[in-house]
A and B are shown apart, each in its own frame.
Chain A
Amino acid sequence: GAVVSQHPSWVICKSGTSVKIECRSLDFQATTMFWYRQFPKQSLMLMATSNEGSKATYEQGVEKDKFLINHASLTLSTLTVTSAHPEDSSFYICSARVNQETQYFGPGTRLLVL
């Protein structure tokens, strides 16, 4: 149980375009999901906390207008990278809160902005 999926697994886009990444909890409902970004050889960096039916909470230094998060249902959260630039190229990982103490992670999405 507790499977989290992400789509797409990788995406290449041109600079200036927007990209949407989906995160789904497949066999459980998640009122809280998290979005992380990971650069090569580095740890995961928390970007924002996504709560179903309310606005996301962004970490300091993360532009909320740049990284739009929508958590419209108990099984789906989306991250849209707007007007993407090469520096946004990274590995984006979502997680879903299973219970009070545990989160399970998706497989990640590799974004390359040309």
Chain B
Amino acid sequence: LAKTTQPISMDSYEGQEVNITCSHNNIATNDYITWYQQFPSQGPRFIIQGYKTKVTNEVASLFIPADRKSSTLSLPRVSLSDTAVYYCLVGSNTGGFKTIFGAGTRLFVKA
């Protein structure tokens, strides 16, 4: 299972773009990269998923370099409500699809 490493915490201000990078040096060929957002006392919420290059949806972008050993979640123009913990997960159907959560990144958005 690929282990992930993220910054423990980040601070930002409203309206700024926030980039959270995740390292996954041991990512396997079949692994996908998925990012989740979690608010206190709630289950994680799916944000975005990708395999390579760039993926964009209505809430975020995900940048994955060619070697896939890292990925960057980009949140455009954050607001106070984006204050949460963000988890990067790496997993696939290989080995029965088991994903292990890392420590996550605690993002604090200030006014």
Instruction: Tell whether B99 is near chain A: CB-to-CB under 8 Å.
Output: yes
Q: Using known A-B contacts A43-B87, A43-B103, A102-B34, determine if residue A97 contacts B97 with beta carbons closer than 8 Å.
A: yes
| Contacting pair B92 A46 (CB below 8 A) | no
Give the tally of cross-chain contacts (CB within 8 A). 57
| Contacting pair B34 A101 (CB below 8 A) | yes
Instruction: Tell whether A8 is near chain B: CB-to-CB under 8 Å.
Output: no
Chain A min CB distance to B10 (Å): 16
| Contacting pair A100 B41 (CB below 8 A) | no
| Interface size, chain B (Cβ < 8 Å) | 23
Chain B at the A interface: SS class: loop
Q: Which residues of B contact A104 (CB under 8 A)?
A: 46
Interface residue from A4, A34, A103, A108 paired with B41 (Cβ < 8 Å): A108
- Classify chain A: how many residues form its interface, as a range: 20 to 34
Interface residue from B41, B93, B96 paired with A49 (Cβ < 8 Å): B96
| Contacting pair B43 A105 (CB below 8 A) | yes
Residue pairs across A and B with Cβ atoms less than 8 A apart, 18 shown, are: A36-B101, A43-B101, A43-B102, A44-B101, A46-B98, A46-B99, A46-B100, A49-B98, A57-B96, A91-B41, A100-B92, A100-B93, A101-B91, A102-B49, A103-B97, A105-B45, A105-B46, A108-B42
